[in-house]
Structure 1
Amino acid sequence: MNKNTTILTLYLLIFCGPSYADFWAGSSRNLSLSALGNKVAVACHNCYSPDDSNVTLSQALQQIHQGQAADADLIEIDLVAHNGSWVVSHGTNIGPDYNDVFSDNTFRNGSAIPFIEIKTNFSQQAYADMLVNTINTYGYLNTGDLVIIRSFHSAALDKIAIALENIDSARSSRVRLSRLYQNKTYSSLLDWQKNITEMSNKYHMVEFNSKTKNLVSLIELAKAKGLGINLWTIRDYAEVFAAAYRDSVDALTIDSGSGRNREDNIRLAKSVVTDNTNLLYFNMAKQNFNQTDHLHFYDRNHSMYKYRHLSNSPEWEWLENIGEDRYGGSLVLNKNDAEYIRFYDRDNNTSEGYFIYAVVNFDSFSTNTTQAIVNKSDSGGFALELNGGSLRFGVHVEGTYHYVTHPLSALNGTDAYQIIGAYDGNGGVRMWVDGNEVGSPPNISGTVTPNNSPIVVGADPQGPDNQRFFFSGKIQTVSVQSWGHH
């Protein structure tokens, strides 16, 4: 690792988004595009049934059509092998024959992408041949179309791959195979990442539960291996997870939650993906400071800069061996050396609050000092920090700070945590750790107080030029957004 001691230099570059492979290449579907240029498809979870119950053909088609009307990009259809055919079912009930569903003209003629989940770990190749022939016959593999076939069972996907060899190569290339994972598929991160590496030689996508531990390590490895990423299944606060992951994944599976039906959550998630709300964004995962001493980040105007700091800049590490809690690059900050990175003074919009997302590994849990992860808290703004035995997120409203807290005893220095803090200007000050909401949110109302201090990573700003409350740990990603009521 090197310590950068080069003079501060800012280079304004032509805008470009994250340099990820386009998983959706070949599809004519008009997918949501984040402000930084990442395409995100929003999937309608179990889009044939509202509650996994047994449905008739007319009921299943009604649900599919509602998903299409909500502009869902992916229509999830679950299939179970049954008596020599496939039926549409979540696996506990027998639904309509799949031919009757896929022959529906509204489904066939729409632009939404079939998101077919195979629930059965079948052994007969005939089932795979039958499914592939059906989607081909009904025109789902025409130019501009895509179909995703997904399963928790690799053996089933392997049979689909064999079946695809028996149709025209141009059409077979429009099928994407996707491996689904349960939350705790493997007992060790190393074994899980070994499997992802194997999947990259066979399939096109991997899908993770949105509450998976060390989720970002799995995501970044999969992206490095050229795999698409889907997170499932997001129910409560769909807008929060859309904002957090819109620049790092290819798809989000959405269901009902937070008092909204599935279709309203789909519309909401799609709108948040495209919202122009960025105040600061950087992801170190693809930045190797052993090869370059610049930090690439985006400000609210979506311009990309290169940053060098004269002194007190963090070190960095590059992790390319699997089994680590992060994959790729991270900033490494040491509070004893007073390390930090100062960005710009970026305030929330009037009547709104802030949204913060950070991927963090903790080195120190000292309870006798405050450690700022990412702050703009100088008689205003927000703070995501460690303080007095707690991880806390707070905002300054009507003359004081209001915090939601989570005990440090629930955290460790081994794992990387996905931390989200959000306040929308009228409601709770909320925080999520690894996809789970934590703490008791204080319910307040009012615009977060603006100030003239910059956003600082690894410290707390004191005016435009000074800082305190330094942090010890690794930070891979930070996103700061102006956040309004949804």
Structure 2
Amino acid sequence: MKLFKLTLILMSISLLSGCNSENDVNYCADISPTKISKNAFLFDYFEQDIVTNRAGRKVAVSCHNCYANNSELNETLTLIHSAKTGSADFIEIDVLYGNENINSIAISHDESSELVDFDAVINSPDLVDARQILFVEVKGVIISEEQARTLIRQISAPMNAFNQRAYLNPNRMTFIRSFEFDGSLSRFYQVLEEPEFAEVRPYILLSRLTYIKSQKTMFAEIEQAAECGLDMVELSAEVKTQRLTSLSEYAQSLGLLVNVFTFNDDELDTKLSQSLSHVDVVTIEPNRNAETQTVFESAKEIIQQSNL
């Protein structure tokens, strides 16, 4: 019955037939926009414990840029491990495509930083057998559908101890995220409709990161995300609280999940507690110099005490 319910809801989430490139919030009018709120079913099927606030809403906690900003693989794996044991629900990884080999993928915040091999990280046994959700941000613009295929294939390849796809199964989905709509997310839309990816398509969620702009523009971008069948929008924690609440509430009314990024340790008691209305995920900056991460547990305690 539980599997049937998941299948039914997943089928209700619009399958994307490709967006046109017109600068118009209605340019995905040929796609059935998502109208079903994803929070309840999405977190019900994750194996880790997502905390619930006093209003009864589940709010997940993500580890921001959960990798070392250098080429040392072991340092990245150590940070991921500390986030995992420190109760983070999502592991955020930024990926870049190579300049010479455009289908090579590395973990890095930008081209000026040192790189860690993406494939090596997602094939590490500690992460393969974990419960945390991959939160993969594609940096910049991708130039071909083949680049999108390459990323999906790499995420699809690792298998867990139960002979399931480690990151793409009913208990552990993966988010692919980008600030770029036409230059990145639209290519993933098109590729995910291909027969090769039919098996993994239900377990890949697509998310639009947004910059701070005028309120009218941000509302329009949220509407566009819903019209084009996205699963999540992500809003900056620097947006003023009242405006952030209005944007989040509107996004959820359209069936979208909402992530708010990024909170530092010293902002948890003030800024985080004021930003939890109509939010599904909050992104927290880890303590990169600590062997043990306590910041995620602290965030969860604040969430549990919140009435928002």
Q: TM tier, shorter chain?
A: 0.7 to 0.9
Give the alignment's TM-score, normalised by structure 1.
0.49
Amino acid at match of 1:194: A
1:190 is aligned with what amino acid? K
2:115 to 95, 98, 123: 95
**Equivalent residue, structure 1, for 2:171:** 144
Q: C-alpha displacement at 1:171, in angstroms?
A: 2.3
Residue type of the alignment partner of 2:232: M
Of structures 1 and 2, the one scoring higher in RCO (CA 8 A, sep 6+) is 2
Is 1:201 aligned to residue 231 of structure 2?
no
Match of residue 12 from structure 2: none
CA contact (8 A) 1:182 1:208 kept: yes
- Post-superposition, which runs of at least 4 consecutive aligned residues in structure 1 deviate over 6 A? 259-262
Alignment partner, residue 39 of structure 2: 22
CA change 1:242–1:20 in 2 (3 A) is farther
Matching of residue 232 in structure 1 with residue 261 in structure 2: yes
Identify the residue that residue 457 of structure 1 maps to in structure 2.
Answer: none
Per the alignment, residue 222 of structure 1 pairs with 251
**CA–CA separation in structure 2 for the residues paired with 1:190 and 1:266:** 33
Q: What residue is the counterpart of 2:135 in the other structure?
A: 115
- Report the count of equivalent residues: 253
When the two chains are superposed, the root-mean-square deviation of aligned CA atoms in Å is 2.3
Is the contact between residue 82 and residue 292 of structure 2 (CA under 8 Å) also seen in structure 1? no
CA distance in structure 1 between the partners assigned to 2:201 and 2:184 by the alignment: 16
Q: Distance in 2 between matches of 1:88 and 1:230?
A: 21
**CA–CA distance in structure 2, aligned partners of residues 168 and 70 of structure 1:** 33
What is the CA deviation profile of residues 404-450 of structure 1, one whole-angstrom value per residue up to 9, with x for unaligned ones?
xxxxxxxxxxxxxxxxxxxxxxxxxxxxxxxxxxxxxxxxxxxxxxx
Q: 1:31 deviation in Å? A: 0.8
Distance 1:241 1:174, change over 3 A: farther
**Given residue 121 of structure 2, which amino acid in structure 1 is its aligned partner?**
V
Q: Counterpart of 2:122 in structure 1: which amino acid?
A: F
User: Aligned partners of 2:298, 2:95: CA distance in 1, in Å?
Assistant: 28
Per-residue CA deviation, residues 388-413 of structure 1 (Å, 9 max, x unaligned), is: xxxxxxxxxxxxxxxxxxxxxxxxxx
CA displacement at 1:261 relative to structure 2: 8.9
Give SS of 1:62's match: helix
C-alpha distance in structure 2 between counterparts of 1:58 and 1:261, whole Å = 13
Shift of 1:110: 0.2
Which 5+ residue runs of structure 1 have no aligned equivalent?
Answer: 1-18, 282-478, 480-486
Q: Which has the higher strand share?
A: 1
Question: Which residue, 218, 238, 243 being the options, matches 1:192?
Answer: 218
* Rg (Cα) greater in structure: 1
Aligned to 2:90: 74
**3-state DSSP class of the match of 2:294?**
helix
How far did 1:255 drift?
0.8
Relative to structure 1, is the Cα distance of residues 29 and 247 closer, same or farther in structure 2, using a 3 angstrom cutoff? farther
Q: Would the aligned equivalents of 1:132 and 1:163 in 2 still touch at CA under 8 Å? A: no
Render the CA deviation track for 1:256-315: whole Å, top value 9, x for unaligned: 47x99992221100122123xx6xx5xxxxxxxxxxxxxxxxxxxxxxxxxxxxxxxxxx
Cα pair distance change 1:59/1:211, threshold 3 Å: same
Displacement of 1:233: 0.6
Q: Residues of 1 paired with 2:292 and 2:279: CA distance?
A: 20
* Counterpart Cα distance in 2 of 1:30 and 1:269: 14
SS at match of 1:183: coil
The answer to whether the 8 Å contact 1:129/1:163 transfers is yes
SS, match of residue 263 in structure 1: coil
Counterpart position of 1:255: 285
Q: What is the CA-CA distance between 1:170 and the residue it aligns to?
A: 4.8
**CA deviation profile, 1:331-356 (whole Å, cap 9, x unmatched):** xxxxxxxxxxxxxxxxxxxxxxxxxx
Aligned equivalent of 2:16: none
The letter of the residue matching 2:259 is N
Q: Which residue of 2 aligns with 1:38?
A: 57
Hey, what's the Cα distance between the residues in 1 that align with 2:297 and 2:175? 21
Q: Which residue of 1 aligns with 2:5?
A: none
Residues 39-97 of structure 1, C-alpha deviations (whole Å, 9 max, x = no match): 11100011112xxx323111111111111111110001110001231100001223122
Evaluate the alpha carbon distance shift between residue 256 and residue 27 of structure 1 in structure 2; reply closer, same or farther with a 3 A threshold.
closer
Taking the aligned partners of 1:30 and 1:170, their CA distance within structure 2 comes to: 26
Same amino acid, percent of matched pairs: 28
What secondary structure is seen at the aligned counterpart in 2 of 1:94?
Answer: coil
Any conservation in 1 of the 2:64–2:91 contact (CA below 8 Å)?
A: yes
Q: What does the per-residue CA deviation read over 1:94-150, in whole Å, with 9 as the maximum and x for residues that have no partner?
A: 312211111111101100000101112111211110111111111211231111111
- In structure 1, distance between residues paired with 2:122 and 2:172: 14
- Provide the C-alpha distance between the structure 2 equivalents of 1:244 and 1:177, rounded to a whole number of angstroms: 26
1:191 alignment partner, SS class: helix
